[in-house]
Amino acid sequence: MPFDPALPLPGSPLESQVIRDQFQALFNLITSITSLTTAQVDGVATLPAGSPASVEITVSGSALHFSFALPQGNDGPPGGQGPTGNDGGQGPQGNDGAQGPPGEVTALQLQDAITGTSKNSNAVPTVDITFGDPEVELLRQRLNDLINALRR
């Protein structure tokens, strides 16, 4: 029996089989969630300046894969005048340096990319019905705590 967040119906007598079926359905949903054990950056592409950054996230088995596309910085101002040579002549003006390679992804950028990406547990709704029996209500609260803890 699949989980039905509408059960038990409000005001209906509490039936143990209905509650057991609901908990079993939730247990089946939770145990079917694939555990992620690794995260891997597959690539970082440099985009033209002013382009929006993006990240593609995929799951393969128990690995979370990231591919980033990050814009390069804008060109800097022209370089200053070069030094005067010993012979009194003016030296050539230096050119702007070449754009350096993209830097490493920081832990904060990685965390920002991961935040909100849980596709496995977000589909499991919390149990939003309150129960008059304190023991069943405590069990419901703990189940909701578990469901929320599985989300990112």
DSSP structure string for 25-58: HHHHHHHTSPPP-EEEEEEEEEEPTTPPPEEEEE
Q: What is the pTM of this model?
A: 0.33
- Phi-psi region at 114: left, alpha or beta (left = phi > 0; alpha = psi -120 to 50): alpha
pLDDT band at 66 (very low <50, low <70, confident <90, very high): very high
- Give the pLDDT confidence score for residue 113 in this predicted structure: 77
Average pLDDT over all residues of the chain? 84
- The mean pLDDT of 32-52, rounded to a whole number, is 88
Q: Is pLDDT above 60 for 115?
A: yes
For residue 42, is pLDDT > 90?
A: yes
